[in-house]
Structure 1
Amino acid sequence: MGTRFRHVSPVSTAVALLTLAATLTSTGSAQAAATRVRSGSSSDVSRTSWQGPAFTMNGDGKIIPGSMSAAIDAIRGGTGSLDVVVLAGSAPTSGSTTPECDAAMALPGVNSCTTWTLTAAADGNNSQVNSDIRNAEFVYFAGGDQCRYAAWKGSALEASVESVAAKGGGSGGGSAGHHINSPVVYDACKGSVTSAEALANPYDSYITFTTGMFDWANYSGVINDSHFTTRDRMGRTMAFVARAIKDGRTSGGKAWGVGVEEGSSLLLDKNGTATLYGKEAFVVLGDHQPEQASSGKPLTFSDYKIWRLGPGQTYDFKNRPTCGYYHRSVTNGVADPNLYTGTLQSTCSPTGGTSTLAETEANDTRATADDATALTYPATLTGSMKSTSDRDYFRVAFAAGERVTIVCAIPDGAYDADLYLLDSSGSTLARSVNDGAGTDESLTFTRTATGSSTYYLELDAYQGSGSSAYTCTLTKG
């Protein structure tokens, strides 16, 4: 039996050394100090109320323009601008020193973005850091190492981030930043674990958790995981879920794993609905005690319920579904095959009418728009950009005071399509024009009590074309 070598987090021993590091900093050693870089306006936005909270859960460290734009719009109610703070545990080793703020500042509705690089647990009590966070409306945790972030549990920083969500702002992050935004955090403070290792021993010494830090509304009982499909992390998420149930880290004898793939993001809105931007994400439910989960023994757990979310699809974390899943099990440390796909054991059927509509050409003008006014919500519209001059129109209807979010998932690398919402006379009310083939588009609109109830959703081929289908999801509330 050979020696097992595994990647050890750069801060695997940092938890033990953070106190020393903080001491060295205070005594003037060469330990790096907290650094601050601000982009945009030097003054914070002053406003009495915000419309969130909203949260972004990203599969890798990058900001996803579609989900971030949707979060910004939800928080500011579609008007005005807001301030963003990015928290990082270390500086990038190449390229821009503020990549997340670079991406945020390119989005509509961002007044400023401040990057704080914090290197010690004591930085969580830095007064300037906490002032910037409390004055912001969105806090983004960068990729890196979630053990650094877990070290801020109980600090002023934790309370400051919670205050942002409480006032109607939001939080999010990618990779390590995704991990820290779940109530049960796989903190990786002793190193990283693979799926095979976790299934062989769910009490492996490399599997450590932090609980009781952030517990966002409607997101209880959840353990996040990132880089999900690319790094084959379904197995370890299954082990994390079993551990959470067995150890009593969640209530009611249930736990949910949320795995997000690279290039993807889940936007969790104030009503508890998570919408997928990008490629795919998975929700893994364990709803009973594991048949075997103990130190040194392989895991046995029957009938996990797994939901796979594709572009534009949603999962209701407030009213958690009892349909639409497939089953997978683990027996003596060996998981069933085909963990990432399966036959649905129970399908979710819409009530009250049809909820989907595929475009029918020619629908290139408002006069020839496909009629989507009778769809039940959440509603789904599909089509494709068949030529570089293609325009697809859908007629929709909104009641007075209704707030509608439209998310269009554009097929990866296929073409660049732009999204517009028009009034009955064809004037543009809102638009989303993110650059890049395969980049999602989204917007939020609230109808006033006056004027026509008829509107038009327009998709334009900005660059490129193809037969791959886009999917637009419309939700109300």
Structure 2
Amino acid sequence: MLTRTLFLILTVLPAFLHGQGYTRFFTGDTTDVETDPIPGIVLAGGGGDNDQAMQWMLERADSGDVVVLRASGSDGYNPYFFEDLGVYVNSVETIRFDDASAANDPYVEAQIRNAECLFFAGGDQYDYLSYWQGTPVQEAINYLINEKGVPVGGTSAGMAILSNWYYAPSSFSLDAEEALSDPFHPDYEVLGQNDFLEVPYLDNTITDTHYEQRERPGRHMGFLARIAEATQSRSFGIAANEYTAACIDENGIARAFGEFPEFEEDIVFFLQSNCQEEFLPEVMEAGTPLTWNRGQSAVKVYAIPGRTDGSGSIDLNDWQTVQGGKWQNWYVEAGELTRIPETNGDCADVLSSTADRSDNTAFRVFPTPASGQLFWEWNGASATGQLSLRMITGQEVRDWPNAVSPVDISGLPAGVYTLEAIIDGQLAVKKIIIE
């Protein structure tokens, strides 16, 4: 993993040429080879590439030719893929689209079709959509994914275009407050479906990137609500924090890669609207805050710490067979997102059947502000419970399955947090300040 504090782009001196509407950078053997690649999808959250996920992708190329597509930037992936990761490939070619005309260039189409691995760099997903949709490049990419069966990956904007549903705004990007305060806000703009890339296991799914770093869980919930309402069927989402990646193999098993626990924020999220009989949002009108509660269980989320060995996983054939992560329930009430821990990840399980929302008056947390230790009590309830502490952005920082008072909060940065408690089947949520 390249360092997080100083992201260095190593350079080599590949051959590069300008064509009509594109610039190409080439490293390696110019002789085209034919190998036996293994299908796979890499969804990387941006902010820096995870070496283990990229090695997983390159190994599936079976020593073939790698093509990188981008609409900005230069040749940084050439040395990284060709020599830095220790996986042999025949060549790496970066093709930078300088305008839309390149999507009709015979050379560009041929290079994509001849690749044994394809990767989309970060940038602006609107460029990819506007340049490639309805062109030979779109056909070539779908050929690689669905007929030739090569590993295909993308980071940031490149990840954003790999799901069946995609978000590709032409100007202002939707934020969480806009998404939840008005589920038909104009900044939703281009929310497309089933008219661009065709990727296995990602039907009715939308991805999101730079997830907790850019406070995007709220808007992702808005996306899922829009999809569920539009299709009248369950919606799904995959989201990656920066420096993490989800790798989906040919059998639909998704694994999470990152550097957890060294970096606690290295989490990949798998979201699914609940499969209750009534699962659609309760309040979804233009200009009105979204309510999608469904018994505090509108969306089931499996949060997998990304580890260097990719040991945490979820089977996308059923979205229920899991290991190495934790279930959460997410719901929205009058435009406010709540994320709570859940011990039962079974689809259709409703949290309120086992944990009803308390009015919070019986649950006390002190002192505030707090430092070192946090005391709690719940009048008339047990002295132990399940507690979870989250940053205001939603990232879980401490978890106490069988908590007694006080709990240790030493070492946490000063700021505002959310403490969630489930005790005797009751749920309470408190905002606290740590100094």
Same fold (TM over 0.5): yes
Secondary structure of the structure 2 residue equivalent to 1:147: helix
Per the alignment, residue 282 of structure 1 pairs with 269
Between the aligned partners of 2:318 and 2:119, the Cα distance in structure 1 is 26
Secondary structure of the structure 2 residue equivalent to 1:60: coil
State whether structure 2 residue 320 is matched by structure 1 residue 328. no
Q: Are the counterparts in 1 of residues 182 and 289 from structure 2 also a CA contact under 8 Å?
A: yes
Between the aligned partners of 2:243 and 2:21, the Cα distance in structure 1 is 32
Q: Are the counterparts in 2 of residues 63 and 100 from structure 1 also a CA contact under 8 Å?
A: no
Change (3 A) 1:136 1:222: same
Between the aligned partners of 2:30 and 2:247, the Cα distance in structure 1 is 28
2:291 maps to which of 300, 319, 327 = 300
Q: Are the counterparts in 1 of residues 49 and 244 from structure 2 also a CA contact under 8 Å?
A: no
Deviation, 1:246, is: 1.0
Q: Are the counterparts in 2 of residues 65 and 103 from structure 1 also a CA contact under 8 Å?
A: no
Per the alignment, residue 304 of structure 2 pairs with 309
Change (3 A) 1:75 1:85: closer
Change (3 A) 1:72 1:322: closer
Deviation, 1:200, is: 0.7
Q: Are the counterparts in 2 of residues 185 and 223 from structure 1 also a CA contact under 8 Å?
A: yes
State whether structure 2 residue 155 is matched by structure 1 residue 156. no
Map Cα deviations across residues 187-240 of structure 1 (whole Å, 9 max, x no partner). Answer: 122421111111111211111212221121122111000001111111000000
1:104 maps to which of 81, 100, 105 = 81
State whether structure 2 residue 234 is matched by structure 1 residue 245. no
Letter in 2 for 1:331: E
Change (3 A) 1:161 1:89: same
State whether structure 2 residue 15 is matched by structure 1 residue 46. no
Between the aligned partners of 2:98 and 2:283, the Cα distance in structure 1 is 40
Letter in 2 for 1:59: G
Secondary structure of the structure 2 residue equivalent to 1:110: coil
Letter in 1 for 2:135: S
Change (3 A) 1:344 1:123: farther
Between the aligned partners of 1:318 and 1:210, the Cα distance in structure 2 is 23
Map Cα deviations across residues 130-149 of structure 1 (whole Å, 9 max, x no partner). Answer: 11111111111110000011
Change (3 A) 1:124 1:238: same
Per the alignment, residue 59 of structure 1 pairs with 45
Unaligned runs of 5+ in 2: 1-18, 259-265, 348-435
Aligned pairs (5 A) from 1:385-424? none
Per the alignment, residue 147 of structure 1 pairs with 126
Deviation, 1:63, is: 3.5
Q: Are the counterparts in 1 of residues 61 and 89 from structure 2 also a CA contact under 8 Å?
A: no
Unaligned runs of 5+ in 1: 1-30, 92-96, 349-477
Per the alignment, residue 217 of structure 2 pairs with 234
Per the alignment, residue 36 of structure 1 pairs with 24
Per the alignment, residue 410 of structure 1 pairs with none
Between the aligned partners of 2:48 and 2:95, the Cα distance in structure 1 is 16
Between the aligned partners of 1:102 and 1:131, the Cα distance in structure 2 is 23
Between the aligned partners of 2:201 and 2:268, the Cα distance in structure 1 is 18
Letter in 2 for 1:178: M
Map Cα deviations across residues 152-171 of structure 1 (whole Å, 9 max, x no partner). Answer: 12211111112222212121
Change (3 A) 1:319 1:109: farther
Between the aligned partners of 1:232 and 1:156, the Cα distance in structure 2 is 36
Q: Are the counterparts in 2 of residues 35 and 118 from structure 1 also a CA contact under 8 Å?
A: yes
2:204 maps to which of 221, 229, 234 = 221
State whether structure 2 residue 192 is matched by structure 1 residue 210. yes
Could you list the runs of 4 or more consecutive aligned residues of structure 1 that deviate by over 4 angstroms after TM superposition? none
Change (3 A) 1:129 1:32: closer
Per the alignment, residue 127 of structure 1 pairs with 106
Per the alignment, residue 4 of structure 1 pairs with none
Letter in 2 for 1:269: D
Q: Are the counterparts in 2 of residues 257 and 285 from structure 1 also a CA contact under 8 Å?
A: yes
Change (3 A) 1:328 1:46: closer
Letter in 2 for 1:132: Q
Q: Are the counterparts in 1 of residues 304 and 313 from structure 2 also a CA contact under 8 Å?
A: yes
Aligned pairs (5 A) from 1:76-95? 76=62, 81-91=63-73
Change (3 A) 1:45 1:186: same
Per the alignment, residue 180 of structure 2 pairs with 199
1:257 maps to which of 234, 237, 260 = 237
Q: TM-score, normalised by structure 2?
A: 0.66
